[in-house]
Amino acid sequence: MNSRQRFDLLRETRKFEEAVGLSIDWETFKTLQQIGSLIRKHKRACENYCNGVSDDTAILKIEKAIEAKIATINAKISGKNPLMVEFQNDPRGLTAKLYHNEAFKPEYYYLLGLTW
């Protein structure tokens, strides 16, 4: 990662901190971006399963990867339940919901570039 990429990542991290009120470092923000990418893959896998293109093994594999990334973040930040995820597997809406301190946070989706 060059200095320009690091600066951009740091700027996005600060923007996320201000909007959400969660103090994180840039490595944690990068992990959150990876979770965003996995959530997009999860939605696509749920659509494929619904259309009969694939089985549910891809969905379960992605869910385990998301839970592992969230466990990594929870080890770094404090709180009762820092981050949680709920899987719904219905491709018509959110297939994975992120919670912070037991409250759904739609801001996370906009800041991580996700749509529903």
pLDDT in tens, 35-70: 989 999 999 999 999 999 888 899 999 999 999 999
User: What letter would DSSP give residue 59?
Assistant: H
Neighbours of 75 (CB within 10 A): 9
The 103-104 sheet, strands edge to edge: 83-87, 96-100, 103-104
Q: What is the pLDDT of residue 87?
A: 92
Q: Which of 10-14, 16-20, 89-93 has the highest mean pLDDT?
A: 89-93
